[in-house]
Structure 1
Amino acid sequence: MTGKLQAFEVIFDGDDVDVFKSGDVIRGYVKLVLRDAKSDVRGIKISFKGKAHTHWSEGSGDNRRSYSGYETYFKEKLVCWGKSKQDVHATKLTLESGEHRFPFSFQIPNKPLPFPFESYHGWIRYKVSCKIDRPWKFDHRTERLFTVIGIPIDLNTMPSARYPVRDQSSQTVCCLCCASGPVLTKASTDKSAYVPGESIFVSGTVENNSSRDIIDLTAKLVQMVVYFSTSGHTERRSETMVKVKAPGCGGGQVALMDWSPLLVPPIPPTGPQGCSIIRIEYYVLFEGDITNTPFDAEVRLPVTIGTIPLHQPLYQPSYADPSAVVLNQPSSNASAPPLPPPCYEVAMGGPQEIPSKSGYDYTFGKLMYAPQYPTYNLPASAPTWDPAYPPQQGDTAYPPSGPGYPPVN
């Protein structure tokens, strides 16, 4: 950068780690490097903000309408050096050439806060903003975003987490006004809840009783986000996180996907809890692409993405071989082996440029950022139960029906 200002950045203590949780004290310093002395400075100001924002438009021309929503979780301003704008005795101060460091500390409010999130139509951000306050001139600014660990989602507190989600559908394919046999689609996941770094195993069949070909089978983990405005309007957007394919089949045949894994990437958990203007949901979409038709044979299987994985392994159904050695017998949490701690990985898609606030032409450098999410390195193992004989309500290992348990079709 040309001019007197050679470096202007926020640096956190502890090897510059930028992942925190509610109640943590953020400590660090503002680093400032000047080629020449600056004699037009009133002070060095820093602010900490936690906010959420949604925004989208609908229609066109005179019928175009814009919607937005806002939430603020915390906001605090500090003076690192010099005087505040409200100080009637404030005078211009001089910063000599060379490197300067201005320490700061800030405690994140000890209250439930949502995980950060970035998308085109909305975001949840935690930001440090610093400015060189110059009376009657443009202020120099720098910004840095950081991650706050949101409300944990412990899969062990969910009664249905370890049990499969399954569904089926039937469609009739019409050709020249003559209906052929139905296309029957069935699919199941091995569980109903996962964490990033874990694999979702998907099993499904498409029984093709039509004369059309099934080009291929696809299983996708889909993120569906609902955005809310202050006026009560909503916007829904879906995006595929990861997918896997399997071969299709011809007419009168059956196509099979046999426990194909979908590795959950670093993504935000279901929720986010603590935010009322953004809601994130996930489902596995299993579909067969029917040739020369505008629709697919499909089944949607809702799943939960959490932040703390299951302690207990998968259940053993009652129809399993009773003489076999049960390696995945459920055990109490107290006797379960300790889980490895998560690492915090950058969200899929990597860092993106975050535009500075409009009119701040003196912002130092580009602001590149991606949230970080807890991710586990867990061994991948397909379920032991046979998808042709899914657990039923009569199985001794299957939970009773009721709130929190999956329906039995």
Structure 2
Amino acid sequence: MSRIKDFNVTYEAISEDHAFSEGDTIVGTVNFRLTKDVKVKSVFVKAKGDSIVKWTESNGEEREFHYSHWRYFKVKEFLFAENFNHISLAGTSLPQGAHTFKFRLKIPEENMPSSFQGKHGKIVYVVEAKISRSWHLPSAVQKEIKFVSKAFLNTPQVMVNTTMMCYKFDIWITIDRGVCFPGETLSVVAKICNSSSKNIEPKFKLQQKIVYRCDGKTKTCDETLFKEVGDTIRPNSEQTASRQLKIPSDAIATLRNCDIISVEYQLKVYLDISFAFDPEVVFPLLIIPYRFAAIQPGEPVGPYPPGRAWAPSYSNYPSLAFPTGSGACPSLDPAQHANITSGNFNQWPQGAAPYGFSVPGFTSPSVPAYPPATPQFQQGEPSLSPELVTEQINKLNVSSK
């Protein structure tokens, strides 16, 4: 029976969420009780951060196991060590009774990912204490710490808006922010013109994508966190669909500064059309830890000029004057209508800063900077070539003279 009882390691909280970040110092104590005098070689404490991914794939009768490990840091402090000037294989004797050792461990000032727990991997930070004795296995105890990366600092808050025009359908979409935190509510407004002969339904959904990586292989887990359906829009009519979409309170923060695990989010707004491809607009969404919500330096873009209900469009085509009253939807130029039937074209001007984001002050050269890319347009059909887009713009310019 072990003579070491009530072995425990504790640390002091430095924030309301009991989380630590780069550069913080972990202050705590190691406690244990000895039922008899015990000869000990050393007592030490260490803090470390690691990421691990592992999964198994079946290929016929063979099974392939994938495993990858990444160490971010390890700091160590000896609390008690035998006097090496008088070496004893048995160690130095500690008396019977309770023992308490204080420690201070500083987390390095390096870009490291936040804590994460997933189906095929995890990112974990722990404080571990060990008692080493001769001719005995070490006695160890560890406690996990919550780690929140500072990579989200200096990520401004802005409004996101775009326009999608495709055959028989025109959509104006505005989201009040592209950066949010778990539990926050997003305001999404979609103004839709249905010039077709079919009923359509606008739908909104938030998708989470987790990718695990190992030796060039990937394992992807996709999940829809919520999905909402708007009112039916009848043929040859227009309607404004407004939705208040709440981010799940337990949503994992976006993760991009880990080499073997990533977490991304997309907000999709699409039209459900019977027996046809569903045009959709995809907005990359950045979800940050709640502790950074109160220190966001940016504000929503605006206000806009009087009488203008929509944010500026970055379309390669002239803006349409959407009617504010009742009546038919505005008609597009036939040549323009015929050539905007395919999706996947980027309406943002080349070289423009997506969403007006600035580069954060805490990034790693090997890690893509926050925020995400610009909205993507998808319909399941071939995309417009640059030459065709240029040709259509020239035609529009000539016709307007």
Which residue is 1:32 aligned to? 32
Distance in 2 (CA, whole Å) between partners of 1:219 and 1:205 is 13
Residue 139 of structure 2 aligns to which amino acid in structure 1? H
Partners in 2 of 1:169 and 1:132 — Cα distance? 68
> Number of paired residues?
318
Q: 1:346 is matched with which residue?
A: none
Tell me, yes or no, if structure 1 residue 111 matches structure 2 residue 93. no
After superposition, what is the alpha-carbon deviation per residue over 1:250-306, rounded to whole angstroms, capped at 9, x for unaligned? 875878641323246365543433x22222222113356678x89977542212234
Structure 2 match to 1:121: 120
Would you say 1:153 and 2:152 are equivalent positions? yes
Could you tell me which of 305, 328, 349 is aligned with 2:287? 305
- Does structure 2 conserve the Cα–Cα contact (< 8 Å) formed by 1:43 and 1:84? no
- 1:249 is the counterpart of 2:237: no
- Tell me if the contact between 1:50 and 1:124 (Cα under 8 Å) persists in the aligned partners: yes
Aligned residue runs from structure 1 range 161-240, under 5 A = 162-166=158-162, 168=164, 187-196=173-182, 198-204=184-190, 218-229=203-214, 231-240=215-224
The aligned counterpart of 1:403 is 352
Q: How does 1:88-99 map to 2 (within 5 A)?
A: 89-99=88-98
- 302, 309, 323: which one aligns with 1:315: 302
Closer, same or farther: CA 167–121 of 1 in aligned 2, 3 Å: farther
Distance 1:298 1:162, change over 3 A: same
Letter paired with 1:22: E
Aligned residue in 2 for 1:21: 21
Structure 2 SS opposite 1:59: strand
Residue aligned with 1:58, SS: strand
Q: Secondary structure at the match of 1:152?
A: helix
Residues 95-130 of structure 1, C-alpha deviations (whole Å, 9 max, x = no match) = 555432111222211222222222122222221112
Separation (CA, whole Å) in 1 of partners of 2:132 and 2:15: 25
Distance, in Å, in 2 between the alignment partners of 1:22 and 1:262 is: 30
The within-5 A match list for 1:46-85 is 46-60=45-59, 62-83=61-82
Question: d(CA) in 1 for partners of 2:270 and 2:37?
Answer: 64
* Aligned position for 1:358: none
Q: Is the 8 A contact 1:42 1:84 kept in 2?
A: no
User: 2:208, 2:266 within 8 Å by CA — same for their partners in 1?
Assistant: yes
Using a 3 Å threshold, how does the CA distance of structure 1 residues 145 and 156 change in structure 2: closer, same or farther? closer
Structure 1: tracts of 5 or more residues without a match: 172-181, 322-384
Distance 1:3 1:12, change over 3 A: same
**8 Å Cα contact 1:26-1:106 kept in structure 2:** yes
Aligned partners of 2:27, 2:123: CA distance in 1, in Å?
A: 22
Which amino acid in 2 is paired with 1:73? Answer: Y
Mapped to 2, the partners of 1:110 and 1:297 lie a distance apart of 45
**Mapped partners of 1:257, 1:11: distance in 2:** 52
Correspondence list, 1:254-265, <5 A = 257-263=241-247, 265=249
Post-superposition CA distance 1:345-403 (Å, at most 9, x none): xxxxxxxxxxxxxxxxxxxxxxxxxxxxxxxxxxxxxxxx74xx4532599xxx98633
C-alpha distance after superposition, 1:149-188 (max 9, x if no partner) = 423334556xxx52314465879xxxxxxxxxx8887754
Match of 1:338 in 2: none
CA distance in 2, matches of 1:119, 1:245: 26
2: distance between equivalents of 1:128 and 1:208?
A: 62
**Paired-residue identity, %:** 23
State the superposition RMSD in angstroms: 4.2
- Secondary structure class of the residue paired with 2:61: helix
2:159·2:174 contact (CA, 8 Å) conserved in 1?
no
Greater strand content: 1
TM-score by length of 2: 0.63
Aligned equivalents of 2:172, 2:72: Cα separation in 1: 44
2:3–2:38 Cα contact (<8 Å) kept:
no
AA partner of residue 194 (structure 1): C
What TM-score do you get using the length of structure 1 for normalisation?
Answer: 0.62
- Tell me the residue number matched to 2:363: none
Change (3 A) 1:32 1:11: same
Please say which structure displays the higher CA radius of gyration: 2
Q: 1:182-232: CA deviations, max 9, x gaps?
A: 888775422323344543222346759677885xx6533322222221x22
- Listed as ranges, the matches of 1:239-388 within 5 Å are 239-241=223-225, 243=226, 245-249=228-232, 252=235, 257-263=241-247, 265=249, 267-273=251-257, 275-286=258-269, 298-306=280-288, 307=292, 308-318=295-305, 320-321=306-307, 386=309
Aligned mates of 1:155, 1:262 — CA distance in 2:
23
Decide whether the 8 Å contact of 1:37 with 1:94 is kept in 2. Answer: no
Task: Provide structure 2 residue ranges, at least 5 long, that are not aligned to the other structure.
Answer: 320-347, 356-373, 378-401
Change (3 A) 1:404 1:60: same
Residues 285 and 392 of structure 1, relative CA distance in 2, 3 Å threshold: closer
SS at match of 2:136: coil
SS of 2:223 mapped into structure 1: strand
More helix by share: 2
